[in-house]
């Protein structure tokens, strides 16, 4: 088969369609009689809807119908749900306010959908949308996180969540942590902001919804990372149709980064309207709509304190965080700043006492949910910033301080629930130091100084949790679903193989990497293996792709199904060759009797399974196996990133000159694909650190609602990256995979900001550290020079 198995740098099977323009994304799908939907959205952050006049719009050319929120209520459409129940430190459940797909009475963020207009063409729908008259009574709003909890602040949901507080949550032992501070030799404090980000997959969200009156059956093509989860909630909670009357297809999807996990109002409304109006409806978001309606990410403010003993060992960490969830609680919003954040605050360190308090709050902003990393970037940034600051304050090398405190014995139980996989943090750091050429740094810095530039170097040793997650464990923490994955392996009579998986690829390369695992098992070429995903009519069930779970969980399910196929194949081959099945080995596409020259080709065995002329006693014909894999733990990728950058003090422009990432992802199936994931993640992390920020003005207007105002990284904002890895497999899944999709975005921001603050000689800079902020920080540290 050549080298196409696990560990091989195989070129992608899916590429051909994408490079020739034959990809099939949701907007590329059409149907006979397709119509087009356009949403009218709230221009206000907070307002009461006094009246909606659709008469003029309804009579415009091409208009088929107009659907508002009251019709959804009358039609029995359920409110959107948050799928993870958390409890506050007093034991009370989170205070979740009603989240209707389109509220007919009140709007609570700019961009909230109010009315859907459906017309024969998109232009006609857009024209008609412009003629709908909605009278709003504007109400005061609150969007600034720092003000949300102030006494007397405007309330988003006064009846359900007084004072805007959804949940006052805690994790860890407060008394023990306080005691660690009381006896500490050193205490370091830091205030941090996690800037609000917009995921911005380049394919905007879209939906094509249709209803078949003859079959009483809906079909939804949509930009989803998890079509089965979409179908489940559309059925069980939004009352669109029972699952067997609803097919959800996620065709080619142009990036997700978390934002396409959720089932948004638009999909629900389009499905509802397709039946009500009797036409198939396509809706495709404009980019501005994406900015105003895709779930945002991050948005925390935190205070952190780190206690150290006289030997500079960490003894305690105390964290107070306020997390903005926006105007409504999105699907996984409650677990992101709690169980996916505070549980990772131990970082790579043996840190015996940790206490975190997180206040989850409402504001008049777009709902916030998981975005690449989801809670772990916030945790990694906090711990890696305060460790770097501690090293500077205490006059020790940040590398040595880290090494002194790294966990060295595994598995390691943290005080915040997690039990870490084995890894080798020292080697990760040492490899990263070698790649950056640490010995040459002093000379490079001197050279920068000669050129009038400020050079800095910064470190980030992140750890994160992937492969979400053991169903029983997450159930006990409040998850409304199990987080296993399923797989079906169908071996055809001619010996080719179809694998049906509940994971979904929207850039992750499953069609190649999953095929590599199958090919390796039987010694077949990868072109004989086809990976099928993203269609609820084809794949029985699956939980989808997020939290870097496709490898650790999805491939584990496939692996288990392959075990069953292998066992049956050996039984059949043993029978056909009159040998003991225990003596059969499978390699290079053949089944051999060990120690003899007896063998049959793979396709002879598979054909035998289907002709069924000569089956072993009691064995059913065919060769198809299914498996469910429920993880026994999270997996824990870890790594060290080093960023070296140069600042122009005259302009405040930061240029990243070297960026090194050394990761431990456990077993790697395809290094080319993994490196690509790391590059993309780092780019988003650098974006968070230097470029990206979402801002609301004092009237609650979103002022960063386009690519002109919100800076996603362009090619010339970034360097090339030096990426390397070690492989310490996790013992907790069959292939030893830890997951790699989010690491870059998790580790990069702290590395960049640590380097920048090193260059500037001040800790006082917030993300995104734009040239203006950097320039101002330089002026602030040089009062004497500014005065001259």
Partner 1 sequence: MSEVTLTVNGREVKRDVEDRTLLVTFLREHLGLTGTHVGCDTSQCGACTVHIDGNAVKSCTVLAAQVDGSSVTTIEGLADGDTLHPMQAAFREHHGLQCGFCTPGMIMMAVEIVKRHPQGLDEKTIRKELEGNICRCTGYHNIVKAIDTAAKTMQGQPAMAAE
Kindly list the residues in this chain that would bind ligand FES in the complex (CB under 6 A): 202, 254-255, 507
Asked whether 56 and 133 are in contact (CB, 8 A), the reply is yes
CB of 747 to partner 1, least distance (A): 13
SS3 annotation, 24-52: CEHHHCCCCCCEEEEEEECCCCCEEEEEE
And the tokens for 610?
């289907």
From 299-307, 411-419, 478-486, 710-718, give the range in contact with partner 1 by CB under 8 A: 710-718
The dihedral over CA atoms of 279, 285, 290, 293, expressed in degrees to the nearest 10, equals -20
Which residues, 6 or more positions from 244, have their beta carbon under 8 angstroms from its beta carbon?
none
- Whose CA is closest to 629, among 738, 732, 509? 732
User: Residue 2 interacts with partner 1 (CB under 8 A)?
Assistant: no
User: Residue 253 interacts with partner 1 (CB under 8 A)?
Assistant: yes
Binding mask 729-748 for partner 1 (x = CB under 8 A): ---------------x----
And the tokens for 52?
């909606």
Asked whether 374 and 446 are in contact (CB, 8 A), the reply is no
Q: Tell me whether residue 25 or residue 610 sits nearer to partner 1 (CB atom).
A: 25
Integer Cα distance of 274 and 292 in angstroms = 24
Q: Tell me whether residue 25 or residue 441 sits nearer to partner 1 (CB atom).
A: 25
Q: Which of 144, 239, 288, 701 binds partner 1 (CB under 8 A)?
A: 288
User: Residue 721 interacts with partner 1 (CB under 8 A)?
Assistant: yes
Q: Tell me whether residue 172 or residue 507 sits nearer to partner 1 (CB atom).
A: 507
Q: How many CA atoms lie within 13 A of 38 on its CB side?
A: 21
- Burial code of 70-85, b = ≥16 C-beta within 10 A, e = fewer? ebbbeeebbbbbbbbe
Strand order in the sheet with 624-629: 529-532, 497-501, 485-491, 624-629
Q: Which helix (H) or strand (E) holds 211?
A: strand 206-212
- Whose CA is closest to 207, among 84, 48, 35, 343? 35
Q: Which does 680 bind (CB under 5 to 8 A by kind): ligand FES, partner 1, none?
A: partner 1
The dihedral over CA atoms of 325, 329, 332, 335, expressed in degrees to the nearest 10, equals 60
User: Residue 118 interacts with partner 1 (CB under 8 A)?
Assistant: no
From 19-27, 95-103, 164-172, 770-778, give the range in contact with partner 1 by CB under 8 A: 19-27
Q: Tell me whether residue 197 or residue 277 sits nearer to ligand FES (CB atom).
A: 197
From 62-70, 247-255, 266-274, 397-405, give the range in contact with partner 1 by CB under 8 A: 247-255
Q: Is 573 helix (H, G, I), strand (E, B) or coil?
A: helix
Integer Cα distance of 410 and 422 in angstroms = 5
Q: How many CA atoms lie within 13 A of 589 on its CB side?
A: 15
CB of 505 to partner 1, least distance (A): 9
Query: 507 to 566, contacts with partner 1 by CB under 8 A?
Result: 507-509
Q: How far is CA 77 from CA 25, 50, 64, 69, 762, in A?
A: 27, 22, 21, 10, 53
From 136-144, 556-564, 587-595, 707-715, give the range in contact with partner 1 by CB under 8 A: 707-715
The dihedral region occupied by 502, where left means phi > 0, alpha psi between -120 and 50, and beta the remainder, is alpha
Q: Tell me whether residue 507 or residue 608 sits nearer to ligand FES (CB atom).
A: 507
CB of 699 to ligand FES, least distance (A): 28
Q: Which does 567 bind (CB under 5 to 8 A by kind): partner 1, ligand FES, none?
A: none
Which residues, 6 or more positions from 119, have their beta carbon under 8 angstroms from its beta carbon?
35, 36, 38, 60, 62, 63, 64, 125, 127, 128
Q: Tell me whether residue 253 or residue 767 sits nearer to ligand FES (CB atom).
A: 253
And the tokens for 66?
């107009």
Q: Which does 782 bind (CB under 5 to 8 A by kind): partner 1, ligand FES, none?
A: none
Q: Is 764 helix (H, G, I), strand (E, B) or coil?
A: coil
Q: Which does 679 bind (CB under 5 to 8 A by kind): ligand FES, partner 1, none?
A: partner 1
User: Residue 266 interacts with partner 1 (CB under 8 A)?
Assistant: no
Q: Tell me whether residue 11 or residue 105 sits nearer to partner 1 (CB atom).
A: 11
Q: Which of 716, 783, 787, 788 binds partner 1 (CB under 8 A)?
A: 716
CB of 340 to partner 1, least distance (A): 22
Backbone angles phi, psi at 688, to 5 degrees: -60, -40
Beta pairing partners, 302: 192, 321
Q: Which does 713 bind (CB under 5 to 8 A by kind): ligand FES, partner 1, none?
A: partner 1
CB of 224 to ligand FES, least distance (A): 16
From 107-115, 195-203, 232-240, 427-435, give the range in contact with partner 1 by CB under 8 A: 195-203
Integer Cα distance of 166 and 169 in angstroms = 9
And the tokens for 140?
């005061």
CB of 258 to ligand FES, least distance (A): 15
Q: Which of 25, 181, 541, 775 binds partner 1 (CB under 8 A)?
A: 25
- Whose CA is closest to 477, among 102, 87, 747, 201? 87
Place of tokens 């026994």: 632
Q: Tell me whether residue 122 or residue 245 sits nearer to ligand FES (CB atom).
A: 122
Q: Which does 484 bind (CB under 5 to 8 A by kind): partner 1, ligand FES, none?
A: none
Asked whether 95 and 160 are in contact (CB, 8 A), the reply is yes
- Count the residues of the shown chain that bind partner 1, applying the rule CB under 8 A: 58
- Whose CA is closest to 574, among 566, 584, 565? 584
Q: Tell me whether residue 24 or residue 408 sits nearer to partner 1 (CB atom).
A: 24
Q: Tell me whether residue 289 or residue 421 sits nearer to partner 1 (CB atom).
A: 289
User: Residue 286 interacts with partner 1 (CB under 8 A)?
Assistant: yes
User: Residue 647 interacts with partner 1 (CB under 8 A)?
Assistant: no
Query: 659 to 688, contacts with partner 1 by CB under 8 A?
Result: 672-673, 675-677, 679-684
CB of 202 to ligand FES, least distance (A): 4
User: Residue 620 interacts with partner 1 (CB under 8 A)?
Assistant: no
User: Residue 707 interacts with partner 1 (CB under 8 A)?
Assistant: yes
Q: Tell me whether residue 225 or residue 733 sits nearer to partner 1 (CB atom).
A: 225
SS3 annotation, 418-435: CEECCCCHHHHHHHHHHH
**DSSP 8-state assignment for residue 438:** G
Q: Which does 676 bind (CB under 5 to 8 A by kind): ligand FES, partner 1, none?
A: partner 1
From 381-389, 419-427, 688-696, 718-726, give the range in contact with partner 1 by CB under 8 A: 718-726
Q: Which of 1, 7, 12, 571 binds partner 1 (CB under 8 A)?
A: 12
CB of 30 to partner 1, least distance (A): 9
Q: Tell me whether residue 416 or residue 673 sits nearer to partner 1 (CB atom).
A: 673
Judged by the rule CB under 8 A, the positions of this chain that interact with partner 1 are 11-12, 14-25, 27-28, 123, 200-204, 252-255, 257, 284, 286-288, 506-509, 672-673, 675-677, 679-684, 706-708, 712-716, 718, 720-721, 744
């Amino acid at each position: 088969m050549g080298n196409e198995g696990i560990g091989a740098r195989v070129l992608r099977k899916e590429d051909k369609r994408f490079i020739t323009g034959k990809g099939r994304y949701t907007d590329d799908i059409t149907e006979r009689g397709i119509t087009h939907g356009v949403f009218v959205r709230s221009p206000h952050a907070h307002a009461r809807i006094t009246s909606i006049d659709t008469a003029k719009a309804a009579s415009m050319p091409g208009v088929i119908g107009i659907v508002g929120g009251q019709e959804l209520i009358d039609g029995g459409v359920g409110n959107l749900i948050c799928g993870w129940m958390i409890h506050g430190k007093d034991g009370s459940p989170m205070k979740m306010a009603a989240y209707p797909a389109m509220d007919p009475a009140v709007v609570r963020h700019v961009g909230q959908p109010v009315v859907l207009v459906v017309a024969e063409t998109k232009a006609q729908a857009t024209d008609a949308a412009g003629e709908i008259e909605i009278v709003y009574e504007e109400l005061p709003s609150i969007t600034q996180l720092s003000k949300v909890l102030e006494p007397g602040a405007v309330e988003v949901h006064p009846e359900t969540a007084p004072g805007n507080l959804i949940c006052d949550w805690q994790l860890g032992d407060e008394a023990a942590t306080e005691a660690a501070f009381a006896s500490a030799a050193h205490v370091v404090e830091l205030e941090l902001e996690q800037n609000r980000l917009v995921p911005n997959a380049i394919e905007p969200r879209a939906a094509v919804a249709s209803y078949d009156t003859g079959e009483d059956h809906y079909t939804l093509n949509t930009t989803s990372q998890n079509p089965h989860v979409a179908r489940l909630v559309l059925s069980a909670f939004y009352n669109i149709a029972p699952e067997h009357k609803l097919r959800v297809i996620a065709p080619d999807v142009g990036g997700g980064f978390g934002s396409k996990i959720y089932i948004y109002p638009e999909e629900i409304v389009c499905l509802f309207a397709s039946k009500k109006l009797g036409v198939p409806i396509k809706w495709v978001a404009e980019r501005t709509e994406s900015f105003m309606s895709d779930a945002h990410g991050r948005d925390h403010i935190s205070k952190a304190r780190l206690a150290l003993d006289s030997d500079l060992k960490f003894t305690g960490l105390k964290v107070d965080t306020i997390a903005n969830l926006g105007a409504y609680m999105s699907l996984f919003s409650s677990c992101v700043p709690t169980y996916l954040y505070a549980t990772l605050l131990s970082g790579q360190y043996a840190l015996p006492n940790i206490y975190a308090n997180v206040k989850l709050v409402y504001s008049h902003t777009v709902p916030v949910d998981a975005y690449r990393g989801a809670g772990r970037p916030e945790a990694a940034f906090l711990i890696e910033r305060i460790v770097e600051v501690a090293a500077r304050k205490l006059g020790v090398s940040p590398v040595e301080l880290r090494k002194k405190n790294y966990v060295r014995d595994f598995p390691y139980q943290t005080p915040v629930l997690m039990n870490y996989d084995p890894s080798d943090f020292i080697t990760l750091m040492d490899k990263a130091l070698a790649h950056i050429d640490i010995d040459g740094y002093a000379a490079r810095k001197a050279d920068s100084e000669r050129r009038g530039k400020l050079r800095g170097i910064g470190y980030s040793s992140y750890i994160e949790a992937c492969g979400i997650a053991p169903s029983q464990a997450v159930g006990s923490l409040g998850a409304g679903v199990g987080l296993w994955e399923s797989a079906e392996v169908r071996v055809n009579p001619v010996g080719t193989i179809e694998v049906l998986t509940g994971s979904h690829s929207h850039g992750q390369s499953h069609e190649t990497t999953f095929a590599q695992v199958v090919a390796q098992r039987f010694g077949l070429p990868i072109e004989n293996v086809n990976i099928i995903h993203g269609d609820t009519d084809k794949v029985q069930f699956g939980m989808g792709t997020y939290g870097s779970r496709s490898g650790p969980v999805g491939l584990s399910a496939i692996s288990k199904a392959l075990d069953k196929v292998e066992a049956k194949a050996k039984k059949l081959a043993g029978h056909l060759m009159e040998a003991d099945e225990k003596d059969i080995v499978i390699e290079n596409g053949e089944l051999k009797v060990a120690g003899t020259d007896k063998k049959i080709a793979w396709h002879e065995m598979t054909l035998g399974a289907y002709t069924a002329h000569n089956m072993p006693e009691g064995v059913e014909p065919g060769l198809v196996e299914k498996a469910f894999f429920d993880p026994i733990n999270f997996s824990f990728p870890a790594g060290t990133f080093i960023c070296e950058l140069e600042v122009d003090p005259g302009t405040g422009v930061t240029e990243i000159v070297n960026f090194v990432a050394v990761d431990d992802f456990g077993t790697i199936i395809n290094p080319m694909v993994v490196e690509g994931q790391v590059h993309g993640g780092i780019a988003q992390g650098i974006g968070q650190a230097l470029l990206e920020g979402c801002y609301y003005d004092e009237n609650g207007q979103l002022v960063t609602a386009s690519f002109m105002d919100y800076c996603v990284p362009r090619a010339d904002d970034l360097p090339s990256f030096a990426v390397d890895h070690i492989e310490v497999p996790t013992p907790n899944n069959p292939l030893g995979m830890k997951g790699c999709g989010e690491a870059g975005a998790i580790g990069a921001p702290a590395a960049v900001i640590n380097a920048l603050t090193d260059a500037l000689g001040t800790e006082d800079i917030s993300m995104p550290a734009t040239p203006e902020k950097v320039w101002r920080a330089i002026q602030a540290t040089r009062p004497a020079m500014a005065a001259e």
